[in-house]
Structure 1
Amino acid sequence: MQQKFEVDLLEEAFKYLESLELKHREKILQNIRRAQFHTDPKLFKKLTNEIWEFRTLYAGLQYRLLAFWDKTDKKETLVLATHGFVKKTSKVDKKEIDKAERIREIYFKEK
């Protein structure tokens, strides 16, 4: 089976994962790896035109890592995770989406 995209963790997403207990972090990373090979909205879902979410339900907690696509390099498609949080309501909080969009804007300005 062919990998659909590469994933890179930006600094805040990396720090978020480091702050979690090992088993929780491993489950999130396992789901990210699965999403790279399988199209499954339970693992990776579009939220807005530019922002997507990696989804993990583990130990009763709904972990989310927001991300965006960078398709500027013709050779590979890259998904960049911006930051993570535990989702507490049925919808992703607008401030979390806004934060991901700001990080995306900075990324492309600095690229």
Structure 2
Amino acid sequence: MPRSRGHLLTTPPSEVDAALVALGYNLRTARVRRNLTLVQMAEALGVSREVLGEAEKGKASTSIAVYAGLLWRLGMIEQLGELARPDRDEEGQRLASFREPKRARPAGGPLDDDF
């Protein structure tokens, strides 16, 4: 049985939890390297210091908008667009290739009427 949305936010699968914790750590590192405090970042994004602290801890219930805002403020927003790119989805490409029609002859090849 699939997990409910509430369950995902309170006890995500370990892989999801680890990825969020790593993202939060990376965002905190980027903020500290820029010598920005949580208060400064919170004011810039219009959220509370507590919300940013939760994002930096990788809390699953933190809105994706907060993570996107952090990336934007840190000058790293282009990295968000790199997530889940279809050209890097090897499993999806493999599965799609099974559904593609198979050609009887190469495309654009000459027709041969020699029977």
For the criterion TM > 0.5, the same-fold answer is no
Greater RCO (CA < 8 Å, at least 6 residues apart)? 1
Bigger-Rg structure (1/2) = 2
**What is the TM-score of this pair, normalised by structure 2?**
0.28
Which has more helix, going by share of residues? 2
